[in-house]
């Protein structure tokens, strides 16, 4: 059974949780339920019960996957069509001498005819056409694989963003508690005649600004819930409450082993489709080589002449490739050029995959180092600085501006920590998705 992350509802206030982040991250169990392409020796992407359900619902309900699967089925139905013989032709006719009367039975050249005709492709053409169609169906199946990978990645990213928003709300609760404490100190000092009224008003202003930020985050939370519900085909406003906390996903030791270029090359739907395209182009070129050999048409018929003995006929014919230099030979050259282009495309995709894996691995290692820096000291020091500055303000040793500066550092450090954790996990998700999208520069706030 896979180990799941603890399910939590982050809607309620959390009082000063950040000092214990490093200790709690160490004891967090990493989930064992990962993507289907994950190597058993590699750590699986963290997956709690809610996320597993969201992924399963989305894979089952997303219309884009059903559309891709239906198109793949349509491509598969082209295989027997490509192998089938052309439809035979049946002709009924009458030939008569003169216009005044029916002369069948009296004149040798008057008769009723029944003719049948069948075109027979040159040997090997039908098999090649079926093979080309089958390779097209296999390429279409890679589109289904891509949609499944992208759907799981989208769900994971949306779930991660929702955790980020809710952890930011929890951070605002902790900061609000600090400001309420500061406001109480400023009021007490003002009443005692030892403080300025502006200090108390500034604390009140900062609390109002926190409320403004809370409203924006609440809107982001609603959008996140709606996105996840859209992906799984549920009512947009259906609650999604059981969530792990993002700061508990900071234990990332060993996850750099997931960034494997060989695994990505072996499982990329785009590269698989491109390689199938190379084979398909080669088989199309082989089919073009046979285009100079004509398809033969066999015709047979019987002419009924009434009282006279019947007549019969058998013919074999086919087109003459008198314009092969402009048609068939050009078709061969075109097919060979397309095959060369397909090989170049496959090579380019493989190079891009290896580049993306290397980029993401480098960015991931840097972000893990950033997370460790936060855990080793920044978070604890930021909390301690905030508390120390407020204590010194109580006794008049520092100004209220110092309290503002320390609180700003508190929110920046803890918010930066959350962003670093989210960015590291986005890199893991992109790697599992085998995404070809470029990795943002480390200085950018994105993944």
Rounded CA gap, 350 and 288, in Å?
28
Rounded CA gap, 330 and 447, in Å?
48
pLDDT at 115: 96
Would you say residue 358 has pLDDT above 70?
yes
Rounded CA gap, 171 and 245, in Å?
12
Q: Half-sphere exposure of 370 toward its Cβ, with a 13 Å CA cutoff?
A: 21
Candidate from 77-91, 203-217, 248-262 with smallest mean pLDDT: 203-217
Instruction: Tell me the average pLDDT across 311-318.
Output: 93
pLDDT digit string, tens, across residues 98-138:
898 998 888 989 999 999 999 999 999 999 999 999 999 99
The burial of 213, by beta-carbon neighbours within 10 Å (0-12 exposed, 13-18 middle, 19 or more buried), is given as middle
Structural domain including 357 reads 18-84+124-287+325-433
Q: pLDDT tier at 434 (50, 70, 90 boundaries)?
A: very high
Instruction: Tell me the average pLDDT across 398-411.
Output: 78
23: in domain: yes
pLDDT at 34: 37
300: in domain: no
117: in domain: no
Would you say residue 37 has pLDDT above 60?
no
Instruction: List, in sequence order, every residue forming a beta bridge with 117; answer none if it has no partner.
Output: 89, 299
8: in domain: no
CATH at 377: 1.20.1600.10
> Nearest 10 degrees: CA dihedral of 49, 55, 58, 61?
-70
Q: With CA atoms as reference, report the closest residue to 198 among 188, 186, 182.
A: 186
255: in domain: yes
Q: Higher pLDDT residue, 434 or 440? A: 434
pLDDT at 326: 73
When computed from its CA atoms, the radius of gyration of the chain, rounded to whole angstroms, is 37
SS (H, E, C) 99-155: CCCCCECCECCCEEEEEEEEEECCCCHHHHHHHHHHHHHHHHHHHHHHHHHHHHHHH
Instruction: Tell me the average pLDDT across 366-374.
Output: 92
Rounded CA gap, 368 and 423, in Å?
10
Instruction: Tell me the average pLDDT across 220-247.
Output: 89
pLDDT at 4: 36
252: in domain: yes
DSSP, res 28 = P
pLDDT digit string, tens, across residues 127-182:
999 999 999 999 999 999 999 999 999 999 999 999 999 998 888 887 777 777 66
Instruction: Tell me the average pLDDT across 78-104.
Output: 93
440: in domain: no
Rounded CA gap, 206 and 175, in Å?
10
Q: With CA atoms as reference, report the closest residue to 313 among 120, 116, 121.
A: 116
Q: pLDDT tier at 282 (50, 70, 90 boundaries)?
A: very high
Give the chain's domain count. 1
Q: pLDDT tier at 244 (50, 70, 90 boundaries)?
A: confident
pLDDT at 340: 94
Helix or strand holding residue 291 (H, E):
none
167: in domain: yes
Q: pLDDT tier at 219 (50, 70, 90 boundaries)?
A: very high
């Amino acid at each position: 059974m896979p180990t799941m992350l603890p399910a939590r509802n982050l809607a309620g206030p959390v009082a000063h949780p950040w000092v214990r982040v490093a200790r709690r991250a160490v004891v967090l169990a990493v989930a064992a339920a990962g993507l289907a392409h994950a190597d058993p020796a590699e750590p699986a992407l963290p997956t709690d019960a809610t996320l597993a359900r969201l992924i399963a619902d989305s894979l089952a309900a997303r219309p884009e996957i059903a559309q891709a699967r239906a198109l793949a089925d349509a491509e598969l139905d082209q295989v027997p069509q490509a192998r089938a013989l052309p439809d035979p032709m049946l002709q009924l006719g009458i030939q008569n001498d003169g216009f005044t009367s029916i002369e069948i039975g009296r004149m040798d050249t008057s008769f009723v005819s029944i003719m049948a005709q069948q075109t027979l492709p040159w040997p090997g053409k039908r098999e090649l056409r079926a093979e080309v169609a089958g390779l097209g169906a296999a390429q279409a199946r890679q589109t289904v694989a891509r949609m499944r990978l992208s759907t799981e990645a989208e769900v994971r990213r949306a779930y991660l963003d929702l955790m980020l928003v809710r952890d930011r709300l929890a951070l605002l609760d902790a900061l609000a508690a600090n400001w309420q404490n500061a406001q109480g100190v400023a009021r007490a000092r003002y009443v005692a005649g030892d403080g300025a009224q502006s200090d108390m008003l500034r604390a009140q202003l900062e609390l109002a600004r926190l409320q403004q930020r809370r409203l924006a985050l609440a809107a982001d939370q609603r959008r996140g819930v709606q996105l996840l519900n859209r992906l799984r085909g549920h009512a947009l406003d259906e609650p999604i409450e059981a969530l792990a906390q993002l700061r508990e996903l900071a234990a990332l030791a060993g996850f750099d082993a997931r960034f494997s270029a060989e695994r990505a090359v072996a499982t990329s739907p785009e590269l698989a489709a491109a390689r199938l395209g190379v084979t398909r182009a080669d088989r199309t070129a082989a089919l073009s080589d046979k285009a100079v050999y004509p398809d033969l048409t066999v015709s047979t018929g019987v002419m009924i002449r009434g009282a006279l003995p019947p007549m019969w006929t058998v013919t074999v014919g086919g087109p003459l490739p008198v314009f092969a230099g402009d048609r068939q030979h050009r078709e061969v050259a075109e097919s060979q050029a397309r095959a060369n282009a397909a090989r170049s495309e496959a090579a380019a995709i493989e190079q891009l995959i290896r580049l993306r894996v290397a980029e993401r691995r480098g960015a991931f290692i840097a972000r893990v180092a950033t997370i460790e820096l936060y855990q080793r000291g920044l978070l604890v020091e930021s909390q301690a600085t905030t508390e120390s500055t407020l204590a010194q303000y109580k006794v008049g040793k520092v100004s209220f501006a110092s309290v503002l500066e320390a609180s700003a550092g508190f929110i920046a450090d803890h918010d930066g920590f959350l962003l670093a954790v989210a960015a590291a996990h986005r890199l893991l998700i992109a790697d599992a998705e085998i995404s070809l999208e470029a990795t943002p520069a480390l200085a950018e706030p994105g993944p």
